[in-house]
Structure 1
Amino acid sequence: MGVQLLERESLLASKVRLFGFAFIIVLVAETIGTISFQVGPGKILLMPLVWAVALGGVVSIFSRYAPAPLRAGASTQWYGAGLLQPALMLLITKLGLLVGASLPSVLAMGWPLVFQEFGHFFGTMIFGLPVALLLGIKREAIGATFSVGREPSLAIIAERFGLASAEGRGVLAEYLTGTVFGAVFIGLLAGFIASLNIFDPIALAMGAGVGSGSMMAAASGAIAAQQSPEVAKQVAVFAGAANLLTTTIGTYFTMFLSLPFTIWAYRVLEPVLGRIGMRPRVAVVEGAEGRAEAANPHKALGVPEWILAWVVTGAMALVGQWLGLKTPIADAVPGMAVILASTMVGFALYRLVWSKMPLVCWVSLVAMLATYPGVPFAAEAAALTAKVNVLALITPILAYAGLSVAKDVPAFRRLGWPIIVTSLMANAGTFLGATLIAQFFRH
Structure 2
Amino acid sequence: MKTLQNFQYNHVLVLGLAKSGKAAAQLLYDSGVSFLINDQKPFLENEPAQYFNNLGVKTVTGHHPVEVLEGVDLVVKNPGIPYHHNIIQEAERLNIPVVTEVELAYELIDGPLIAITGTNGKTTTTSLIYEILKEANKNPIIAGNIGQVASQVVRQQEGEQPVVMELSSFQLKATQNFKPDLSVLLNITEAHLDYHQTREDYVNSKLNMIKRQTTDDLLIYNQDDSTVNRYINEGEVKTTPFTLKGLLKEGVSYDGQWVYYNQKPLIKRKSIVLPGLHNLENVLASIAVAKAFQVSDEHIRNVLSRFIGVKHRLQFVKNKAGRSFYNDSKATNILATRKALQSFDQPIVLIAGGLDRGNEFDELFEQFEHVKHCVTYGQSAGKIAKAAQSNQFTEVSIVDDLEQATKQAFEVSDEGDIILLSPACASWDQFKSFEGRGDMFIDVVHKL
Q: TM-score range by the shorter chain?
A: under 0.3
Name the one with the larger helix percent: 1
Higher RCO (CA < 8 A, seq sep 6+): 1
Give me the TM-score of the superposition, normalised by structure 2.
Answer: 0.23
Name the one with the larger strand percent: 2
